[in-house]
Amino acid sequence: MNAAGFPLLSLVTFLPLAGALIIMSVRGDEEVVARNARWTALWTSLIVFLLSLILWARFDQSSAAFQFEEKLAWLPEFGVGYHMGVDGISVLFVLLSTALTPLCILASWEAIGTRVREYMIAFLVLETMMVGMFAALDFIVFYVFFEAVLIPMFLIIGVWGGPRRVYAAFKFFLYTLLGSVLMLLAILYLWYNAGTTDIPELFAQAVPRSAQTWIFFAFLASFAVKVPMWPVHTWLPDAHVEAPTAGSVILAGVLLKMGAYGFLRFTLPLLPEATATFAPLIFVLSVVAVVYTSLVALAQEDMKKLIAYSSVAHMGIVTIGIFTLNQQGLSGALFTMLAHGVVSGALFLCVGVLYDRVHSREILRYGGVAGIMPAYAMVFMLFTMASVGLPGLANFVGEFLVIVGAWKVNPWVAFGAATGMVLGAGYMLYLYRRVSFGKITRDDLRMLLDLSPREYVVFAPLIVLTLWMGIYPQSFLSFFEVSVAALVQRHEAALGAARLAGM
C-alpha cells in the first residue's frame, strides 16, 4: 500500500491483465468474440489511462523522492520484495505507455482481422509489462517485467506481422534476450554484495570501484540492444518492417525507451566512476549511430524502414544527452525520449493509414497523395516537421537541450548530434515530398479515401501532445528537472568522494 492506503500503481499495472482474463472468457462465434475483444481491450486501456492521470495530477514535482510507493514482502529471506514507485524520471513514461495503448488498439480496429482475441490479449499483457517495468523499485521485479515485455511483442510480430515475420520476431527476441543475460549476472553480484535487490537501498550503498567496470559493460550489453545503439541496432529495422502498425507504434513509442531508462535508473546512480570513465565511448558510439543511420535512412525505399533508422538516430541523440551528466543534457534526453515516443508512433500510424488502403510501403509507389487526401497530408506534414525538429513542435526542445549539454562536455560531440538533425531534415523531407507531392501515376491512388472518423480520433491526441510539448515544454520539464538535479548532484558527490579516497 502507498501512503494513502490505496495501491494505485498496482492497479494501473495489473488492471490490463484483468481485461485480458475477461477477453479469454468470451464465448460465441468468431465475429462476436472479435467484437467483444476489441471493445473490452479498448475500455480496459482507457480506464487504465484515466487512472494513470491520477499519478500525473497528484505527483509532487518539487520532490526527487519516489512517490506512490507500495511494498510487500515477497522473498524476505533473500532480500527480495515487491516494491513499486515512481519519481520524476519514470512517471511520464508510465503515462506514455498507458496513453499509446488505447491508440494502438483503435489503430488495429480494422487492420487486424484474424485471431483478434489473442491479439488484444497480447496488447493488454504488454501494457502490464511496460508499466511494471517503469514502476518497479526492486531489481528482480524490474528484471521480470523488463524481460517479460519480449513475450507479447514477440507474438505480435511473429503472428500478425508481414511475410518475414518469423525471422524478424526471432531476431528481435534473441538479440534482446541474450543481451540481458549479462545484466542478470550483474544483478546477482549486486544482491550478493549488498544483501538486497531493493533499488533505493542499493543507491545508498557504494559499488566497489573494482566491480564497476564489468557491471557497467554488463548493463551496457543489455541496455544498448534495447535502445538500440550502433552496432547492435540491426534487429530494429526488420522488427519494424514486419510488425503490424500498432506493433511498430508501441515498439518505437515505448520499448525503445527501456534501454535509455535503464541507463538513467541504474547505470548513472550505481556506477558513477565507470560512467564518467566510459562516457567518451558512449559518445563515439552515439555519434556514429546518429550520422551512419541517418545516411542509411536516406537510401531507404520502404517507409517503415526509413522511420526505423530515424529512430536509431534519434535515440543516439538521447544517449549523448544521458552521458553528458549535466542538467541540460539529461533533461534534454528525457524530453527527447517522450517526444520521440509521440512523434515516431504517429509517423508509423501515418504509414499504416496508407498501407491499409494500398498494401504497400514502397516510397516510389506513391506520389500526389496530398491532392486526394488533404487532411492526411496535413497530419503527415505536422509529424514530419516535428521529427525534423521544427521549433514549436515536440522534438525541438529536447534536441536543443542535448546539444547545449553536449557542448559543455565536448563541442565535437555537439556537432555530431547537430549533424544528425540536419541529415534528419534531408530524409524526412525526401519521404514527405515523394509521398505527398507530384503527379498521380497510378489509377488506384485516385480512389483513396481521406482519414476516417476513427483515424481522426487516433491522431487527435498525438497532434495535441506534439503541439503542447513544443509550445509549453516547461509543463513536461518540470516533472523531471528536480529528479535530474538530484541525480547530477549524487553523481558529482560520488566522483568527489572517489577522488578524495584516491588521494
pLDDT in tens, 405-418: 999 999 999 998 89
Q: Is residue 381 in some structural domain?
A: yes
Q: Distance of CA 398 to CAs 87, 154, 461, 465, 475, Å?
A: 19, 31, 20, 14, 13
Of 304, 311, 446, the C-alpha closest to 369 is 446
Structure-block grid coordinates of residue 311? 529512430
Of 150, 146, 156, the C-alpha closest to 175 is 150
Q: Distance of CA 188 to CAs 26, 77, 183, 184, 218, Å?
A: 42, 15, 9, 6, 12
The whole-number average pLDDT for the span 214-225 is 90
Q: Are 225 and 173 in contact (CB under 8 A)?
A: no
Q: Are 481 and 327 in contact (CB under 8 A)?
A: yes
Q: Is residue 200 in some structural domain?
A: yes
Q: Is residue 3 in some structural domain?
A: no
Neighbours of 125 (CB within 10 A): 20
3 band by pLDDT with thresholds 50, 70 and 90: very low
Q: Is residue 475 in some structural domain?
A: yes
Structure-block grid coordinates of residue 231? 552496432
Quick: pLDDT tens for 310-327: 989 999 999 999 999 888
pLDDT at 16 (0 to 100): 94
Residue type for position 272 = P
Global pTM value: 0.90
What are the residue ranges of helices labelled H in 227-326? 235-242, 245-250, 257-262, 268-270, 272-298, 303-322
Neighbours of 21 (CB within 10 A): 12
Coil, strand or helix at 362: strand
Q: Are 224 and 259 in contact (CB under 8 A)?
A: yes
CA separation for the pair 76, 68 (Å, rounded) = 21
CA separation for the pair 265, 288 (Å, rounded) = 24
Query: Is the peptide bond prior to 163 cis by the omega test (within 30 degrees of 0)?
Result: no
Q: Is residue 407 in some structural domain?
A: yes
Residue type for position 256 = L
* C-alpha neighbours within 13 Å on the C-beta side of residue 339: 39
- Least reliable range by pLDDT among 9-18, 89-98, 335-344, 480-489: 480-489
499 versus 70: the higher-pLDDT residue is 70
Q: Is residue 218 in some structural domain?
A: yes
Neighbours of 437 (CB within 10 A): 13
**Category of 449 on φ-ψ map: left (φ > 0), alpha (ψ -120 to 50) or beta:** beta
Domain of residue 25, residue span:
8-502
Quick: pLDDT tens for 178-206: 878 888 888 888 888 888 888 888 888 87
Of 42, 158, 65, the C-alpha closest to 490 is 65
Q: Is residue 272 in some structural domain?
A: yes
CA separation for the pair 413, 402 (Å, rounded) = 10
Inform me whether the pLDDT recorded for 265 exceeds 80.
yes
Backbone angles phi, psi at 224, to 5 degrees: -65, -35
2 band by pLDDT with thresholds 50, 70 and 90: low
Q: Is residue 1 in some structural domain?
A: no
Residue type for position 173 = F
Neighbours of 453 (CB within 10 A): 7
Q: Distance of CA 50 to CAs 57, 68, 103, 469, Å?
A: 11, 16, 14, 20
Inform me whether the pLDDT recorded for 245 exceeds 70.
yes
Count of the separate structural domains present in the chain: 1
Quick: pLDDT tens for 412-469: 999 988 988 889 888 999 899 988 887 877 777 778 888 889 999 999 999 999 999 9
CA separation for the pair 480, 61 (Å, rounded) = 7
256 exposed, middle or buried (CB, 10 Å; 0-12, 13-18, 19+)? buried
Structure-block grid coordinates of residue 461? 491526441
